[in-house]
Structure 1
C-alpha cells in the first residue's frame, strides 16, 4: 500500500517555489532551474551529500518524542512557521534535517538556539524580525547547506557562517556594507541572493568576495550605479536588475568571462561601450529591458542562439520601451531566418540591424 504523506509535511516545500525569471525566487527552485546545470550541491561542495530538496523517502523515521509545542514534526522535518513565535523554540530533535521558522516574530538568534542540531541541512528564517545574531549562533550547524534569512531587519551579514554552507539567501534586509572577510572559509558556497538591500557600490569593501567560487549572484533592487568590479570570477549568472546602473564601460565585465546569463534590466543604462561584451565569450542570455538605451547595441561575437520577438521591445502595460539606432548580432549562432521582423520594431533604422558571418 503506498505511503500517504501528511499534507503539512509538503507545505514548506510547496511554498518555496516561485520560478519567474529575474524575480526573487523561492527556496528550492534555484536548484531545480534547468538553466543552471552546474548548480548542484554535490558538484558544488564536492561532498557526498543530498542535492536540492531532501529526499524524504531516504530519511529514516525518528522515534523521538521531542517536538516544540504547536509545531509539526515528521521524519526529520520540523515545521514551526506562522505561529507568532518570539524566539527559536526549544525541544527540537537533534536529528532534525529541515527546520522551518518562517513567518514568525523572532527578533534575535542567541548563542544556544541551535545547540545540538549538528545534522541540520536547511534552516528557514524568512519573514521574521531578526536584527541581532550572536557570533556563535550558527556554530553547532556543521552540516548546514541552505540558510534562508530573507525579509528580516539585518543591517549586516551574519558573522561566522557555517563552512558547509552552499546557498545563502539574505535579500530584503537592511544591509549597506559587505566587509572583507565576511565570507572567509566558505569554500562550498555557490549561490548568494542579496537583492533588496540598500547596497551601493561603495558598500563592497575590496576583497569582500575573496575565496568564494560562486556560480550565482543576485544584487538586484539595490542602489548600484555601476557593475561591481570585484565579484567572483567564477560566476555563471549575475543579476543586477532594478538598480541605477548608467553605463557599461569597456572593462566592467573583464573578469567575468564565465558568465552565460547577465541581468541588467530596469536600470538607467544609456550607453554600452563598444567591445565591452567581447569579454563574455560564453554569454547565452542578456537582459537589457527597461533601460534608456538610444544608441547602437553591440552584441556581436557571442553565443546567442535565439532572439525572441519581445527581447528588444518588451510589451505590457506601463512598460517603457527603449528605441535603438541599431543592433549588432554579427558573428552569433542565431539563425537569422527564424527571427520575426517585429523583433526589431523599436529600432529606428531597420538598415542598422546586423546578422551573419558566424563560423563554427
Structure 2
C-alpha cells in the first residue's frame, strides 16, 4: 500500500557565522532528512540575516511570503533548518496555515521510525518528551486554556499543566525502564569483555556506507539504504579470519552535524557497545563534497562522548565515485570502495595489522597431549606461526593476544 507523502516547505536562514557553502550543504542534508522521513519537498525559502528574529525566526515580510508558498503548494508541513523556540512556533503558526516543526523534531521523528530495539525506542521517546516539555505552550492556545464551566474550578489543573505533569511522569517511567535495560546490556558487554575477543566498532557520518561494509564483512543483512539513519540500533556480529580466529564488529547509528542535544544521551547509549571496542573504524564518504565537515563532526562527537582516546583507522569509502581532486585528511587511512569484490579481503588485511599493533606478541610450546587446546587458542588469539616440532613432540605457536594475558607465560 502506497503511503501518501506529506508536502514540505523548507526554511533556512544564512547567518554571518556560517559560510554559504556550509549553509547549502546543511540545506541539502535537510532535504535528505525529509526524503528519509517520507516527505516531498515542494519548495524552499531562504533569507540572509544578521541575527534571527526572536519573535518569528524570519522577518515579517518573509513570513508572509512563506504563508503564500504554503497556500500555493497546499503544503502540510514547514520545516526550519534550525531549532525553534515555543514563542517562534506560536507566532509563525498565527500567519502560516501548516504544521511548523524544526530540524530537531525531524531528526527525532526519523529516530522514532528507525528504532527497532526496546532500548532504542525508549531512548527516542525520552528525547522527544524532553524536547516537547519546554515547548508545550507553543503547541497552540488550546493546550494552555482552562477547561471553563462547572466542574473545572477549584483544585483543577489547566490542560497545559496536566500535559506537563503527564509528560514528566512518562519521562520518569521511561528512565526507570532504561536503567533496567542498560543494566542488562552492561551484563552482556561485561560477559563479552571476559572472552578475550578483539572488538572493532564502525562509526561515521550517516549514509557513509557503514552498513554495506558491515554486511560484506559479516555476511549479515542489516538495512542498507541510501537514506539517513538507515541503522539506529547497534548490531554486533562475528567477523571470521583465517585459521578459525574471529573478532567482533559493531555497526552503529550514523553521526550528523547539529545533532540535537536531546539526542546526545540516546547516542551515548547506542554507542556504549562501541565505547568498549579495541579499535574504531571511521568510515568517510569520499564522494561527498562536504566530507571534511563530516569528519570534523564525527571527531567532535567522539570528544563529547569521551571516546576520542580510542585507536582509529579512517576508511575513505566510495572511492569509485570520489573526485580526482580528493585528498585523504588522516595519516592512518585506507582508500576503499565497499562494492569492490576484493573489499572484504582488503579491509580484513588492515584489521589484522591493527590487531597485531594493539595486542601483545607471544610465543609458546604446547605439548602433543594438549593438542586439543589448539583450536581454542586459535579462536582467541591471532596466530602467525604454527608448526609441529617432532623431536620435542610439541606445537610451536607464535601470535598475538590481549595485553592483559601477556604476563601469563
TM-score of Structure 1 vs Structure 2, range by shorter chain: under 0.3
Larger radius of gyration: 2
Of Structure 1 and Structure 2, which has the larger fraction of its residues in helix?
Answer: 2
Normalising by structure 1, we get a TM-score of 0.23
Normalising by structure 2, we get a TM-score of 0.21
